[in-house]
Chain A
Amino acid sequence: MLSFEEAQKQPHAFVAGEADIIVVGAGHAGCEAALAAARLGRRVILFTMTLDSLANLPCNPNIGGTAKGQIVREIDALGGEMGRLADQHMIQFRMLNATKGPAVMSPRAQINRTGYQRGMKRVLESEPLLTLIQQEVTGLLIADGNDKRIVEGVVTATGSLFKAPGVILCPGTFLDGRVIIGDSVRSSGPDQLAPSCGLGDVLTELGLPTRRFKTGTPGRFHRRSVAVEQMEMQPADGEARPFSFEHEDDPAWKPAADLACYITWTTERTKKLLSDNIDRSPLYSGVIEGIGPRYCPSIEDKIVKFPEHTRHHVFIEPTGLDTQEMYASGLSTSMPEEIQRAMLETIPGMEKAEIMRPAYAIEYLCVDPTILELSLEVKGIEGLFLAGQINGSSGYEEAAAQGLIAGINAVRRQQALEPLVIDRSEGYIGVLIDDLVTKGTNEPYRLMTSRAEYRLLLRQDNADTRLSPIGHEIGLLPEERWQAYLRKQQAIDREMNRLSELRVRKSELSDAVLTAAGSTPLKVTTRMHDLLKRPELSYALLAPLDPERPDLPVSVRESVEIQIRYEGYIKLENDRVARFRKLESKRLPKEIDYARIKGLRLEARQKLSDRRPESVGQASRISGVSPADIQVLLVYMEQWNRQEPGPCRTE
């Protein structure tokens, strides 16, 4: 691989541009990365294969959902873009799990796809330090330093050189993409877009371990041909809630539309058809080699793996305001078109569905993410960052979160600042990145709330409390947002104090209110704070006993209520976090020679030498490192620290 200097000496070399940071790929990861870097004051070039298709939603037409909704709120709390745009192009809002507890309450929105894309283009174009260029990047410029390599820029398909000391790769499923429908296998990105073919070889040449993952998407059908009136309707929530804290409690904000989704079911005939033709599925015939996600099986997969299920549900979802295309969640398949058509005839309401885009599977190249630092920089290659599906994740939200962090850290690397690492107790962003980097993944990785150890703390309602101070500190959160955040926190504190001082006396009124709510009447005067903890009561139900109650925004009421009602459990989780932090804060110097630490088991020595974790806490999550190994490491670190002044050991 050439350095910039070497490339420049080649015949007809042309230096077409220079920036502080180059971002390759304008999907959800690339857009967030480029925006974050530009907003932090760096000159950024964002490359895309086509300017007409950036920030695409080529699969499900929604943003948010369990764990994903929380992460969109976190992106917003740090100063990212996804939440604000999703709010502007929201065409249906639902709060999932509203009855299952605050830890898992998750906002989800159907999105007007082309509106979102155009909106993102406008945002990118209006960013002063950001340049958008339609060109395919096919090579990297890398210089050999003393003990590490240093990224210096990129080469495009036309041979132009672009110089930059920071490069963030976000090629997504375009990287060596292969689209598969039945026996048809074509080199392609999603939505018939051209794949990215040169970068895969670059990764191999850099010595990065790669593999192929697979994902898939169902077909799109013309609305007039889908008999939604025969299906169960799933309407939008009565009250829509924005993702962005900027739109929270803003009376002017409302979603672009309140469209409905519809539910139908596959039948025994669907099952028989697919079983009879299973040999035609590329999944089972061996055409598909990539590893698919367990949480997103194709319909033929579901039928093979769960033969006892007689039917599977299908959600029919709108994909926008300017299109008649409907998405059929649940019908992802890589069966040949002939079978896809026959399958529709077996599903009530879909019998006459016109296929506008057939379902397909897509295979792509990605990297084993354990080669990354928690900052998302590639170990041993200074200035090169990876974000999004290239790291083995899947999902728009997961990609956006990584892009944001990679963008921030590419800047901090150039400013010689400590990288921003969100830990597992601070956000799903931390859970996501730590899972990928520390544990690795064998399938396209999707966030789930069950992956979080401190789920009750990582709620959608408090994403700002958790992360906005960080967004402010690193300079990404605009000042007016920070002021609004401070006002909201004050309001929450004031109301919490008021409720803990407010005493409710036993009276005819209190007896009546409590009895009506199915609760027991008071025996003694009780603080409102304590009344709120009864599971059968709520802030709203207790209003009649609280005549002085101020008129507060929904977000403040929600935060107050959750913090009081779950106080005991939240305190327990905070205690666990305190213990977790102790190990996270024990940094492991990069120069440790694990092979020489006595008492470590062989497997632990190898794993630790290989991965070089950043803290004792991270080491403890590497598979193959036992609790006893961690104790040995702690003693070793204590010995190291007592050996002042230098970190040298004698033996």
Chain B
Amino acid sequence: MYSADMETIAAFSTPPGESGLAVLRISGQQAGAIADQLFVPSSPRFPRPSEMEGYTLAHGIWGGIDEVVLACFRAPHSYTGEDVYEVSCHGGQAVRQAILDSVFAAGASPAGPGEFSRRAFFNGKMDLAAAEAVMDMIGAQAEKQAQVAFQQLMGGVSRMIHERTDHLYGALARLEMLMDWDEEEERPEDRQQLLSELEESENALRKLADSFASGRVIREGLAVVIAGSPNVGKSSLLNALSGRDRAIVSSIPGTTRDTVEIDLTLDGYLIHLTDTAGLAIDSPDPIEQEGIARAESALGGADLILWVLSPPLLPIHERRLEEDRISRLLAEGKKILLVLGKDDIRLTLPPEEDPALYASERFPDLPTITWSERFEEDLGRLKDTLIGFIQNGTLISRTAAQIAGRQAADPAELTGGDGVQSGSVSEGKGESRSIRNADAVASLREAARRDDEGQSHAVLTHARHKACIDRAVELVNRARGDLLSGFSYDLVAISLKEALTELSAITGDDVSETLITKIFSRFCIGK
């Protein structure tokens, strides 16, 4: 038995995407204790989770989040050979995210690539023949996770994390400088300075945790406003997003004829969608002006603006007005996703009429997506982008310039953004080898090829990042407390270094080396 597996791990074992039910698997010594913390049975006749016998089911509420069925598989009679608890919950993205977060907060660690299968192998649940399949699985999942993480990092998460963690590096660099390079004994002003730096670090990290958790958005919904000049396809965009989704919560006609508001859910996330009309037209009509004022107000409250641009392009002076408005919104810090509508006719247009080329000239770096109601995959990509935005606070998409420059790109590349939800690892992994052994091996290989072992990488990656940041915040807070109660520097440094190590799981930093570089670049040291 591989005894280094002291940690209890968790991940969803059902495939990603909207589904009726989802199953969370928790495996390890602490699984029962974690379930005890979070599970409230619906009836007193159900035992406490940690006292459940093997193969027992119980019904109840999980972490105040959702109604679930809890199943217990006692070691060694489980998939991994350890104590395993499975939580069957409702399948919405938001519910899954909240349940995963709750399990990590209670002490579980996110499952690593192929980790359930690896543990099963180590605990003798699989024979030797399965070893290579397990290695394939780990390799494939790690690759997939790296892709997801890379996409998120490319999307600006990386810069944000680096900015926020820079404070913390700075504070620890000062502390380490004081211990390794300062010949004098402790001065009260050093402790004061460290305290204020740590306070700043903690605040920065809390902000990061908040933006990551998208807690408000998950609770209250994401305010999305569709804007653009008339007849660009705004309404069909609204209809597509709402009409084809079965989960419409309510449909409220706007109080004026100029805005329409719809609430809908996407993979379990609540979205308030507002369609504005007549926005770009400078009209003397008082009713139109009222409409414009309302549109402006909707834009002011938007978390995300879908700005639709379609052929034919506006006359030059109106185009300039529209550009000014987009620039102004960007300057206010608004997040804008440019939607190039009527994509089905775009390729037939002369270059001077092509909105992609136009957009790439005026707003080359704006996140941009192409859309036509006639292409089913366009809608999927738009939804994925919206979900990604809710999960990460960041738009993961190509830019206008990239789209204009890649008109002839093949469909696989055009749907590059989809990798977040559904991408697949190149076929052929493990194909060349013969499959002689048990069904377990075959199914492992299949999972390795599908590369998911049932996990949603986006949800897990997100939850993993959030768990790291939450723990880092806690550790910085502890360091601050220690500093306040007069503990020595060496103890304070332990918590701070651990905090940075947690964050390095996201940034990939070599903490020790980064720290030393910071010390030498910030402080003049030497004999």
The chain A residues found within 8 Å of chain B, CB to CB, are 60, 66-67, 96-104, 218, 234, 294-297, 302, 305-306, 309, 312, 315, 329-330, 332, 448-451, 455-456, 535-536, 566, 569, 572-573, 579, 582-583, 597-601, 623, 626-629, 631-632, 634-636, 638-639, 642-643
Which of B118, B485, B512 is A450 in contact with, Cβ under 8 Å? B512
Are B180 and A449 in contact, CB atoms less than 8 angstroms apart? yes
Which of A100, A234, A636, A639 is B488 in contact with, Cβ under 8 Å? A100
Are A100 and B489 in contact, CB atoms less than 8 angstroms apart? yes
Residues of B within 8 A of A332 (CB): 526-527
Interface residues of B in 169-190 (CB under 8 A from A): 176, 178-181, 183, 185-186
Complex formed: what's the CA distance from A305 to B523 in Å?
A: 10
Complex formed: what's the CA distance from A295 to B128 in Å?
A: 51
Complex formed: what's the CA distance from A212 to B487 in Å?
A: 43
Are B131 and A636 in contact, CB atoms less than 8 angstroms apart? yes
**A315-B527, A450-B176, A638-B122 are known contacts. Are A101 and B488 too (CB-CB below 8 A)?**
yes
- Most chain B CB within a 10 A radius of its CB, from A67, A100, A329, A638: A100
Complex formed: what's the CA distance from A642 to B129 in Å?
A: 11
Which of A100, A623, A638 is B186 in contact with, Cβ under 8 Å? A100
Complex formed: what's the CA distance from A260 to B122 in Å?
A: 62
Nearest opposing residue in chain B for A576, CB measure:
B498
Are B113 and A450 in contact, CB atoms less than 8 angstroms apart? no
Complex formed: what's the CA distance from A313 to B211 in Å?
A: 44
Tell whether B20 is near chain A: CB-to-CB under 8 Å. no
Complex formed: what's the CA distance from A295 to B523 in Å?
A: 10
**A296-B527, A312-B524, A582-B4 are known contacts. Are A104 and B489 too (CB-CB below 8 A)?**
yes
A432 to chain B minimum Cβ distance, whole angstroms, is 13
Complex formed: what's the CA distance from A173 to B443 in Å?
A: 60
Residues of B within 8 A of A309 (CB): 524
**A601-B139, A631-B113, A634-B118 are known contacts. Are A295 and B525 too (CB-CB below 8 A)?**
yes
**A450-B176, A582-B4 are known contacts. Are A60 and B186 too (CB-CB below 8 A)?**
no
Interface of B is mostly: helix
Nearest opposing residue in chain B for A565, CB measure:
B488
Can you identify 13 A-B contacts, CB atoms within 8 angstroms? Answer: A60-B527, A295-B525, A302-B526, A451-B512, A566-B491, A582-B4, A599-B140, A628-B141, A628-B142, A628-B145, A632-B135, A638-B2, A642-B128
- Chain B 99-130, CB-CB to A under 8 Å as 1, else 0, gives 00000000000001111001001100000100
Residues of B within 8 A of A294 (CB): 520, 525
Residues of A within 8 A of B180 (CB): 66-67, 104, 448-450
- Chain B 62-103, CB-CB to A under 8 Å as 1, else 0, gives 000000000000000000000000000000000000000000
A589 to chain B minimum Cβ distance, whole angstroms, is 16
Tell whether B365 is near chain A: CB-to-CB under 8 Å. no
- Chain B 128-171, CB-CB to A under 8 Å as 1, else 0, gives 10011011111111110100000000000000000000000000
A441 to chain B minimum Cβ distance, whole angstroms, is 11
Tell whether B44 is near chain A: CB-to-CB under 8 Å. no
- Chain B 490-515, CB-CB to A under 8 Å as 1, else 0, gives 11011000000000000000101001
Are A456 and B121 in contact, CB atoms less than 8 angstroms apart? no
- Chain B 226-251, CB-CB to A under 8 Å as 1, else 0, gives 00000000000000000000000000
Complex formed: what's the CA distance from A601 to B491 in Å?
A: 38
Complex formed: what's the CA distance from A636 to B491 in Å?
A: 38
Complex formed: what's the CA distance from A579 to B142 in Å?
A: 22
**A66-B181, A601-B139, A635-B135 are known contacts. Are A535 and B176 too (CB-CB below 8 A)?**
no
Are B526 and A297 in contact, CB atoms less than 8 angstroms apart? yes
Which of A448, A626, A636 is B135 in contact with, Cβ under 8 Å? A636
Tell whether B3 is near chain A: CB-to-CB under 8 Å. yes
The chain B residues found within 8 Å of chain A, CB to CB, are 2-4, 6, 112-115, 118, 121-122, 128, 131-132, 134-143, 145, 176, 178-181, 183, 185-186, 430, 485-491, 493-494, 510, 512, 515-516, 519-520, 524-527
Which of B138, B486, B494, B512 is A631 in contact with, Cβ under 8 Å? B138
A14 to chain B minimum Cβ distance, whole angstroms, is 46
Complex formed: what's the CA distance from A403 to B220 in Å?
A: 65
Are B527 and A638 in contact, CB atoms less than 8 angstroms apart? no
Are B128 and A635 in contact, CB atoms less than 8 angstroms apart? no
Residues of B within 8 A of A627 (CB): 112
A18 to chain B minimum Cβ distance, whole angstroms, is 43
Nearest opposing residue in chain A for B448, CB measure:
A599
Residues of B within 8 A of A102 (CB): 488, 490
- Most chain A CB within a 10 A radius of its CB, from B131, B136, B143: B131
Are B118 and A101 in contact, CB atoms less than 8 angstroms apart? no
Are A104 and B179 in contact, CB atoms less than 8 angstroms apart? yes
Are B490 and A635 in contact, CB atoms less than 8 angstroms apart? no
Residues of A within 8 A of B112 (CB): 627-628, 631
Complex formed: what's the CA distance from A99 to B131 in Å?
A: 53
Nearest opposing residue in chain B for A449, CB measure:
B180
Residues of A within 8 A of B131 (CB): 635-636, 638-639
Nearest opposing residue in chain B for A103, CB measure:
B490
Complex formed: what's the CA distance from A98 to B182 in Å?
A: 12
Are A635 and B138 in contact, CB atoms less than 8 angstroms apart? yes
Complex formed: what's the CA distance from A626 to B505 in Å?
A: 11
Complex formed: what's the CA distance from A102 to B179 in Å?
A: 11
Are B510 and A635 in contact, CB atoms less than 8 angstroms apart? no
Nearest opposing residue in chain B for A569, CB measure:
B491
Which of A315, A535, A631, A636 is B115 in contact with, Cβ under 8 Å? A631
B239 to chain A minimum Cβ distance, whole angstroms, is 44
Are B525 and A450 in contact, CB atoms less than 8 angstroms apart? no
Nearest opposing residue in chain B for A447, CB measure:
B180
Are B139 and A535 in contact, CB atoms less than 8 angstroms apart? no
Residues of A within 8 A of B176 (CB): 448-450
Are A99 and B488 in contact, CB atoms less than 8 angstroms apart? yes
B447 to chain A minimum Cβ distance, whole angstroms, is 13
A89 to chain B minimum Cβ distance, whole angstroms, is 20
- Most chain B CB within a 10 A radius of its CB, from A67, A306, A632: A632
Residues of B within 8 A of A597 (CB): 135
**A66-B179, A450-B516, A631-B114 are known contacts. Are A456 and B490 too (CB-CB below 8 A)?**
yes
Are A99 and B122 in contact, CB atoms less than 8 angstroms apart? no
Residues of A within 8 A of B115 (CB): 631
**A583-B4, A636-B135 are known contacts. Are A449 and B179 too (CB-CB below 8 A)?**
yes
Complex formed: what's the CA distance from A99 to B118 in Å?
A: 47
Other A-B contacts than A100-B488, A598-B135, A642-B128, 8 sampled, CB-CB below 8 A, are A101-B179, A297-B526, A449-B180, A598-B136, A599-B137, A601-B139, A629-B142, A634-B2
**A450-B179, A623-B510, A628-B112 are known contacts. Are A639 and B128 too (CB-CB below 8 A)?**
yes
Residues of B within 8 A of A572 (CB): 494
Complex formed: what's the CA distance from A638 to B2 in Å?
A: 9
Are A99 and B524 in contact, CB atoms less than 8 angstroms apart? no
Are A535 and B487 in contact, CB atoms less than 8 angstroms apart? yes
- Most chain A CB within a 10 A radius of its CB, from B132, B180, B488: B180
Are B138 and A599 in contact, CB atoms less than 8 angstroms apart? yes
Residues of B within 8 A of A104 (CB): 179-180, 489-490
A447 to chain B minimum Cβ distance, whole angstroms, is 9
- Most chain A CB within a 10 A radius of its CB, from B131, B489, B493, B526: B526
Residues of B within 8 A of A569 (CB): 491, 494
A459 to chain B minimum Cβ distance, whole angstroms, is 9
Residues of A within 8 A of B137 (CB): 599
A148 to chain B minimum Cβ distance, whole angstroms, is 30
Are B178 and A100 in contact, CB atoms less than 8 angstroms apart? yes
Are B135 and A535 in contact, CB atoms less than 8 angstroms apart? no
Residues of B within 8 A of A67 (CB): 180
Nearest opposing residue in chain B for A108, CB measure:
B183
Which of A60, A582, A598, A626 is B132 in contact with, Cβ under 8 Å? A598
Residues of A within 8 A of B185 (CB): 97-100
Residues of A within 8 A of B493 (CB): 450, 455
Nearest opposing residue in chain A for B491, CB measure:
A569
A285 to chain B minimum Cβ distance, whole angstroms, is 21
Nearest opposing residue in chain B for A234, CB measure:
B183
Residues of A within 8 A of B142 (CB): 601, 626, 628-629, 631
B83 to chain A minimum Cβ distance, whole angstroms, is 20
Residues of A within 8 A of B527 (CB): 60, 218, 296, 315, 329-330, 332
